Each structure stands twice: as C-alpha cells, then as structure tokens.
Amino acid sequence: MKHRGRHRRRRQGRALRAVLAGAALALTAAATMISASQATVAEDPGALRPLTATADTGRLRLTEHRVPRPWLDRLASDMGRPVGVGAVLDTPDGSLRDAADCPAEDRSALPVAPAATRAWCWDADDTRGLRAGAVTTSGDADADGRWGGHRVVLAGWSEDGGSAARDLARVSFVDADAADRPGYTSALLAVPVDGGHDYRGLASPVSGMVWYQDKLLVTAGEKDRNALYVYDLNRVQRATVDAAAVGRVRGGFSAHGHRFVLPAVATYTLPAACAPDTDDGVPCLGGISLDRTTAPDSLAVSEAAGPGGERHTRLWRYSFSQDPGRTGLLAADALGRVAADEAFTTRAGGVEGVLSHRAAGAARADWYLSRAAATHDGHGILVRQNTDGAATTECGTDSTRRCWSAHTRSLSYWEETGEVWSQSGRMLFALPLSSVDRALG
C-alpha cells in the first residue's frame, strides 16, 4: 500500500546524529548551570517497598465493563463498516519533520542524557492548543513489531485547558515505515452513548496508552471516571460530516474535524473515586506500559502525581488475559474483577511515565520512572528502581540529575528494536534501552 509523504531513503546517519549530538551538547551546557543542590535525597528515592496487605492491594482492583455488542453494531450500522489501521494510514493528514528541521525551541525538550538517537517534531499549527500525551507502538501490539505489515507509532493528544476546551482527546497514527518524514492521521477517541445511537468525546488528557494485540488501552483521569478505556483497532469508524461538533449531527456523525473516530468497547474502573491528595486512598491512574518480560504479559501502572508532585507514588501491574476469546483484555475473574499481581511504593514524586522490564538473567524487574521538571522550561529526572535500590542519570559538570525531558508522560519499549519511545512537547523520540541503562550505571 502506498502512502503520501513516504520516503524510502533513510537519511538518518551522520546528519541526524550530528544534530541530536549538538542539541545534547547545548542542553548539557545549560544543565551545568543548574545548582548542584538540586541533587537532593528527594532525587534518589532508594529501593521500592512491596505492598502486600489486602487493605493496600484491594484499592488497586479493577472491574471490567464491556460496551454491549448491540451498541457497537448499531453504531457501525449507522456510520458504515469499520476500517482498520491500514485504511487510517493510507491518507495521512500531515507529516512529521526530522529533528534537523525542527525549531531549536522544540529540540530543547529532548533529553540531555541519555540522548535521543531518533527524533521528529509535530507541526506547530496542527498541535496548537493541544497537550502531548502518551505513546505506544506496534512493538507493543505484536512481538514482531508490525501490524498488518506496518510499523506504527500511536501518539496521544488532548486539548490544553482554556475556557473553551472540552478536554477532547485524539490519537495520531504515525507511519513509522517512513523514516524521514513519517505521515500521520489522527482519530478522535470517543465513548458510545444512547444505546449506540450516538457517542461523546473522551474528556480527559491521555496520560497512559498501551496497544496490545488488537486493543488500545488508554488512561483517563478524574474528569472521565479515572478509568482505563479500551478501544478495538478493528473498529475504527469514518466520520461522515466534517464539523466541530462531536457525535450525531444533521446528516450523519462528526468527530471535531477528524476523519476517523475510535469508539470505546470497554472500561476498567477502580473500586472508588481516586484520592490524589493521599498515599493511602484509591490511586488516580497515571502512566501505563506493556511488560513482555513477565509471564503472562502484564500492564505496568503508575499512580498519577498529586499536587506538588513530591509525595510517595504507588506502582503496580495487572496480567493480560490468555483466553483467545479475550484478546487484548486484562485477566478477569467470573465477576469481571482484575486483581493487581504485585504492587510497590516509591519515594519518587512527580512520576509521569513508567516502564517495567526484566533484563535477561535478572532476578527481578526494574522499574523506570520519568519524573516531571521542577520548572516549566527545566528538565526532569529518569530513575531506575527495584527492591534493592535506585539509580538516576547524571549530566553536567555539577552532576545534576535533571537530565531527562521536562514532561514525558509515557515510556514505551519496542522489543524488536530495543528502543524506548516517548514524547515531550512537540518532539517524538526514541533511544536504545541499553543507552538508558549505561547512563544509569
């Protein structure tokens, strides 16, 4: 299948490395100006502490709610036959620019250390008024890293506040087959209502996202039930009316100007409303990622950072179902309940992105946490923790630990290539997990 904007020539060698290295050097120089006093105990959170008491783990239990099949069929009947990922990629809305062609202001969002080895930026006009969210890839969807023969990156976006904002969320499908200027197409994330006769927009920032098998799991915050929403990548619908409205309108269905819409097929909810101000209430869902080094594969979860971002954070995981009739869904009992397999607490605050991975031969998994910057234009901290201790990256002559991107709301590991993918501001980037580990020592 041909895609506009695809260039098979892979112009990523010396030029891209030189640009990224130059950006990294510039950022390192800036990092040396950060006071060494920032390398405080708070930036070295120590070992993870396991949570085993029923009172603690019970707060992490999910309950599965499936959207009735007749609702989805009715929506498909009214909107037309669903399409797949290939149809979405076939006619891109636009293309990303190679890091060499990105504004210096955008490139400043890249990590100082370890440095990105591949990076692109989104068009400012297409992302104005939007906040960058989570990233997942076809490396999560399938072990061979491809979906229908394509290498695909999914990037989440949501409206960035303001009195007129509705917190609408979208996911952009990036054609990662094209290395120089990858094309992308966006779809509105929606939730069926009124028995499947209509849908509403997902009203939440996208802080976590995992594409596993044929399902896309998306973290929604307090404004939309503090839940995990599940989307079926075989049920992408075409909008039939180009308008700013969302849902059924005169003449068909609109998706806020998008040509495609994804209706949710299920949700997972926690046992009560989340408590962002305490360490011992029901946690607010934050980042998520896929861990293929567990048996079965599991979903790693971090608690959303509370006000101030300095209190302790809970980390936990759920197993994915091995039932062939429940592809992409979590392992649930007969009542639809999903228990956490293990849980920990960390002294790290301000956690945004989370990644769990056990290296070959290791006795336990390491948890990688991206922590938010202390200031809007500063840099964050990347931490690796397990039950033995913690390590953080260092950069600059004063050994500051603020070497990571300011805001990376997710970390996604592409097993086939060994790369970690993330997004900060308008920059989408990747770097080898091995370079992360070397930087962490």
Q: Buried (b) or exposed (e) across 122-161, using 16+ Cβ within 10 A?
A: beeeebeebbbbbbbbbbbbbeebbbeebbbbbbbbbbee
Check: CB of residue 24 under 8 Å from CB of residue 110. yes
CA separation for the pair 262, 188 (Å, rounded): 6
How do residues 341-373 score in pLDDT, each as one tens digit?
999 999 998 899 999 999 999 999 999 999 987
More confidently predicted of 38 and 368: 368
Residue at 62 is within a domain: yes
Residue at 416 is within a domain: yes
Residue at 113 is within a domain: yes
Residue at 179 is within a domain: yes
Residue at 281 is within a domain: yes
Residue at 8 is within a domain: no
How do residues 75-85 score in pLDDT, each as one tens digit?
999 999 999 99
Residue at 22 is within a domain: no
Once rounded to an integer, what is the mean pLDDT over residues 30-56?
67
What is this structure's pTM?
A: 0.90
| Token pair for 201 | 């927009």
Domain that holds residue 392: 48-440
Q: Into how many domains does the chain fold?
A: 1
Whole-Å CA distances, 125 to 94, 121, 122, 130, 153: 11, 12, 9, 10, 21
How do residues 283-339 score in pLDDT, each as one tens digit?
999 999 999 999 999 999 999 976 555 678 999 999 999 999 999 999 999 999 999
Residue at 16 is within a domain: no
Please report the sign of the dihedral spanned by the C-alpha atoms of residue 384, residue 132, residue 229, residue 60.
Answer: positive
DSSP letter, residue 67: P
